[in-house]
Amino acid sequence: MQEAIILVGGKGTRLRPLTNHTPKPLLGVAGSSFIRHQIAKLMHAGVEHVVFATSYLAGLFEAEFKDFSQDLEISYAVEDVPLGTGGAIRNAGRLLRGGAPDAPVLVLNGDILSGVDLRALLAHHEDRAADVTLHLTRVTDPRAFGLVPTDEAGRVLSFLEKPKTAEECVTDQINAGCYVFRRSVLDAIPADREVSVEQETFPQLVAAGRRVFGHTTADYWRDLGTPLAFVRGSADLVTGRATSPLVGRPAEALIHPTAEVDPTARVTGGSTIGPHAVIGAHAVVDHSIIGGNVSVGAGARIHGSVVDHDSTIGGESTLREVVVGCHTHIGAQNELPAQLRLSCGLRIPARAVRITATAAACPTVH
């Protein structure tokens, strides 16, 4: 029986306020929670049992899957205090069914959208009789990741998590957050304390001469841990640059059947429009995620942004790479700059924020 562990215990701080009430893997991406895309991919690769390593808002995972009726067994390894990525893998290992010490166990970070062929990764691991096999990918800026140089045979030479200096950036080849562990190697991770798989387990296995291999591919790959990456990943699934068994034919936008989009509005670039959302006349929604019950006023322009459920964007307001928390009201004719994150429940009056000049008269008498 092929089994997998998914690490989903992180707080998703870089995606706040979206993650204030919802763990990162349960956020909606191209019409389904992200974790459902991952589950579908695992089932497609023949996985029959998945263990979620949960911690932050753990109960919401069980709620999400309580009616799951497909042919997959799901278990929950809940950490009362986060055990770190290595501790979480070891803790989840207790719930695996296959007891054979050499059994290959898939381990996935819970925020990676990837086109890697999991069967090919498993075959790579078996062919080399590896202790651990890491999926690796190449990126232009590796600083936010784990650096993993390999030799000609693909054997991992070192593992350096989040390099601090330019000298430390010895390769553009990074840990793609998907591994195959030999069961006995996973069971040997200390169980009684917090352990980082990146900072402790991998460097120690390499230093001890264990058989740690990389499987480098050029498949689509994105970590959805930042707002911009999150909207891009969702848009890529809609437009077909990235694929998921849960997404149909490539499209310009994914509009929920209960949403109302004015015929003069333009919804483009792989945007998703959630249930009961209303998009007004001449509004533009591009490369964005619009949550359920959101209202976008006439002539508003939204680019590369996420608007969480039950929020209102006033007419002729402009949002560029902005994250809007749930139940937030943005009045008309605001112009919100990039990188802005608006807390849940916030109210911004009409014409309150602009990055270009404002023509509104000063209401204070001097």
Summarize as ranges the residues that interact with Mg ion (CB under 5 A): 111, 223, 225
* Least CB distance to ligand GDD at residue 16 (A): 13
Nearer to ligand GDD, 134 or 306 (CB): 134
Give the one entry of ligand GDD, Mg ion, none that residue 145 binds, where binding means its C-beta sits below a cut-off of 5 to 8 angstroms depending on kind: ligand GDD
Pairing of strands 271-273, 253-255: parallel
Q: Is 177 in the site for ligand GDD (CB under 6 A)?
A: yes
Q: Output 58 or 255, the one with its CB closest to ligand GDD.
A: 58
CB of 223 to Mg ion, least distance (A): 4
Contact window for ligand GDD (CB under 6 A) among 84-92, 122-130, 293-301, 347-355: 84-92
Q: Work out whether 86 is an interface residue with ligand GDD (CB under 6 A).
A: no
| Residue of minimal Cβ distance to ligand GDD | 9
Q: Which does 83 bind (CB under 5 to 8 A by kind): Mg ion, ligand GDD, none?
A: ligand GDD
What is the token pair recorded at 350? 């009409």
Coil, helix or strand for 288? coil
175: partner contacted, choices Mg ion, ligand GDD, none (Cβ within 5-8 A by kind): ligand GDD
Task: Give yes or no for residue 201 binding ligand GDD (CB under 6 A).
Answer: no
Q: From CA 248, how far away is CA 243, in angstroms rounded?
A: 9
Give the strands of the sheet with 260-261, arranged side by side: 260-261, 278-279, 295-296, 312-313, 329-330, 347-348
The rounded radius of gyration (Å) of the Cα atoms in the chain is 22
What backbone phi and psi angles, to 5 degrees, belong to 41?
-65, -40
The dihedral over CA atoms of 20, 92, 30, 305, expressed in degrees to the nearest 10, equals: 30
Alpha helices in 202-359 (DSSP H): 202-207, 227-239
Query: Applying CB under 6 A, does 225 fall inside the site for ligand GDD?
Result: yes
Three-state secondary-structure class, residue 169: coil
**Helix, strand, coil in percent for the chain, rounding step 5:** 20, 30, 50
54 vs 312 by CB, closer to ligand GDD: 54
Between 111 and 131, name the residue whose CB sits nearer to Mg ion. Answer: 111
CA gap 263, 265 in Å, rounded: 6
Segment contacting ligand GDD (CB under 6 A): 33-41, 75-83, 183-191, 312-320? 75-83
In this structure, are residues 168 and 214 in contact, taking their beta carbons and an 8 Å threshold? no
Selected binder of ligand GDD within 18, 26, 88, 330 (CB under 6 A):
88
| 225 touches 34 (CB < 8 A) | no
Phi-psi region of 165 (alpha: psi -120 to 50; beta: other; left: phi over 0): beta
Please, which residues bridge with residue 278 across strands? 260, 295
Smallest distance from the beta carbon of 81 to ligand GDD, in angstroms?
8
Task: For residue 64, state whether it binds ligand GDD (rule: CB under 6 A).
Answer: no
Judged by CB, which is closer to Mg ion: 126, or 219?
A: 219
Residue 83 interacting with ligand GDD (CB under 6 A): yes
- Answer yes or no: are the C-beta atoms of 267 and 252 closer than 8 Å: yes
Nearer to ligand GDD, 144 or 350 (CB): 144
Smaller CB distance to Mg ion: residue 161 or 262?
161
DSSP 3-state of 319:
strand
Closer Cβ to ligand GDD, 226 or 268, answer by number = 226
The binding site for ligand GDD (CB under 6 A) comprises: 7-10, 53, 55, 79, 82-85, 88, 109-112, 145-146, 161, 174-175, 177, 198, 223, 225
